[in-house]
Each structure stands twice: as C-alpha cells, then as structure tokens.
C-alpha cells in the first residue's frame, strides 16, 4: 500500500543520524512524495532522488547553541529546525517526521493526530503562556506529540506572527523568554502547532496508535505498521531486560507505548 501524494507538499525527515533502512521505507511506500532529508552532514549513501538540506543551512547550530539561554539547547534546536524546514521549503505544506520514526500510509496525516493520552501540564501551560488567546486555560487536554505532523506553511507563519505580536519579539526569542521566566515549563513544536491548528484553524483531531520502542522488538517494519500508525526506534533510552519484556508484551497486545 502506498501513501497518496498531496499536491505541492513534501515529506521532510529531520534526523541527527539518518537511517538507510528508514529512508528506504519512505522512498518505497511514499512514492510520488517529494522526500527531503535534513541532517548535519549529507550521507554518502543518500539516493539521488532525495533532496538534502544541512542543519546549518536552516539554523546555524554553533550560533544558536552559544546564544540560547533557555536550557536544553540541543533539544530545542532540533525542534526549531522543524519550523524552519517548513518556512524555508518550496512547498505549501510539509509532513515532518522525526528521523528515528516510520509512519504508516494509513495515517490520517491531514488531521491533527493525538495519542489519546493527556498532555503533561508543563507542555500545556507553555502553550497558554505563549498564545493565551488561542489556548485558554485547560483547553488543550490531549497530547499531539506523535513524532510527526502535517504543517501548512501559511498557517505556521500565521501562528509565529501571532507569537511575535503577543510578545513584541521574534518568535524564537519569545519562546526562549517564556522558558527563562517559567523554568517548570517545556516547549513542544508539535503540541504548540497542533493546538493552534486545532483551535485557530478548526482542524480535526484523530486518535492514532503509536509505539516508540521498536528497538526492543525483533519484528519487520511492515508487520509493526499493520498494528500502529507510528513506530520509532529509540535505543538511546534505557533498554534493560524488564523494559524489553514490557515492550514485547505491549506490542503483542497491540497496545500503545509512548
């Protein structure tokens, strides 16, 4: 099954360490899409049909890291890269996917996707501080952090413009200042934009199934995507014996993880 290719849209992978296996999957299943890889260095094995952009072409990493005061500089750099990849793309819309993740062609990508879980307070409260007119207290209750999101460029520009008008500063500086003033809060690029689409643009919300520890499961990608809309490989997280047992049990039952 191949994913339908929208007009004037791209699929952008944001990957610190690109995976040949994951990229091959997207080239095979998302045929007709304009595939883009954003990464620090162009891999030698990158197929010619994939467009490449270096991280530094979007945001100069060294300058960002040295100037950023909001904590977790590398973490937020990766999140801002996604916004910049959309803003600087040639396409009207872009499906952004984390570089460690694979999505099913069945995913309702034009909707705002949710895990169905409650969003953590520190993400929700950040959105309320950032755009209080769009995010009245308690309005956003579901997590939209699903390792992927469909971005419409003019809607993202609209949201970032609203942040700049609200705070009288560039959107990056406004986000940094909120994080400095409220150290118990956290920014999520997916939660903020997803919530904006949901409430300012009246996008639909769709529950999807997500499994974030495929590195613990010895199964082919195609098998996993019969159960889940999104899977990811996250070996950088703790992977002890009990975690593998838990992951295996949840996977066998088709239950979400993450």
pLDDT in tens, 113-155: 999 998 899 999 999 999 999 987 766 789 999 999 999 999 9
Domain identity same for 159 and 116: yes
Number of domains comprising the chain = 2
User: Do the domain assignments include residue 23?
Assistant: yes
Confidence of residue 252 (pLDDT cuts 50, 70, 90): confident
- Final residue belonging to a domain, choices 174, 189, 207: 207
Percentage of the chain surpassing pLDDT 90? 74
Six-digit token pair at 203? 């996008």
User: Do the domain assignments include residue 14?
Assistant: yes
Domain identity same for 235 and 167: no
Six-digit token pair at 53? 């952009």
Average pLDDT over the chain reads 91
Domain identity same for 89 and 132: yes
User: Do the domain assignments include residue 3?
Assistant: no
Any residues with CB less than 8 A from the CB of 141 and at least 6 apart, and which? 118, 119, 124
Residue 172 above 90 pLDDT?
A: yes
Domain identity same for 197 and 220: no
Secondary structure (3-state) at 71: coil
Six-digit token pair at 3? 């994913």
Model confidence pLDDT, tens digit, residues 66-88: 999 988 999 999 999 999 999 99
Helices and strands in the chain, H and E counts: 10, 10
- 257: DSSP letter: B
Q: In angstroms, rounded to a whole number, what is the distance separating the alpha carbons of residues 224 and 218?
A: 10
Pairing of strands 205-207, 230-232: unpaired
Cβ atoms within 10 A of the Cβ of 258, count?
A: 19
Domain identity same for 185 and 234: no
Domain identity same for 118 and 159: yes
Domain identity same for 177 and 233: no
Domain identity same for 222 and 156: no
User: Do the domain assignments include residue 4?
Assistant: no
DSSP characters over 79-117: HHHHHHHHHTSSSSEEEEEETTEEE-TT--TTSEEE-SS
pLDDT for 158: 98
Residue 99 above 90 pLDDT?
A: yes
Longest dimension (CA), the chain: 51
- Final residue belonging to a domain, choices 170, 185, 207: 207
What are the b/e assignments for 156-178, b being 16+ CB within 10 Å? beebbebbeebbeeebbbbbbeb
Domain around 231:
210-253
Domain identity same for 219 and 201: no
């Amino acid at each position: 099954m191949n994913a339908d290719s929208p007009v004037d849209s791209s699929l952008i992978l944001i990957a610190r360490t690109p995976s040949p296996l994951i990229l091959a999957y997207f080239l095979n299943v998302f045929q007709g899409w304009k595939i883009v890889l954003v990464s620090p260095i162009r891999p030698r094995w990158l197929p010619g049909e994939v467009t490449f952009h270096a991280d530094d072409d979007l945001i100069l990493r060294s300058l960002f890291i040295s100037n950023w005061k909001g904590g977790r500089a590398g973490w937020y750099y990766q999140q801002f890269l996604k916004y910049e990849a959309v803003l600087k793309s040639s396409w009207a819309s872009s499906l952004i996917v984390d570089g460690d993740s694979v999505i099913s062609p069945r995913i309702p990508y034009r909707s705002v996707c949710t895990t169905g879980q409650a969003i953590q307070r520190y993400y929700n409260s950040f959105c309320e501080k950032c755009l209080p007119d769009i995010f009245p207290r308690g309005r956003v209750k579901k997590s939209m952090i699903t390792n992927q999101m469909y971005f419409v460029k003019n809607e993202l520009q609209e949201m970032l413009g609203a942040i700049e008008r609200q705070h009288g500063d560039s959107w990056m500086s406004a986000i940094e200042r909120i994080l400095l003033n409220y150290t118990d809060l956290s920014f999520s690029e997916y939660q903020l934009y997803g919530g904006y689409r949901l409430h300012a643009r009246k996008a639909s919300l769709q529950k999807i199934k997500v499994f974030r520890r495929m590195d613990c499961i010895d199964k082919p990608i195609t098998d996993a995507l019969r159960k889940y809309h999104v899977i990811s490989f996250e070996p950088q997280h703790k992977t002890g014996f009990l975690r593998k047992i838990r992951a295996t049990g949840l996977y066998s039952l088709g239950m979400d993880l993450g």
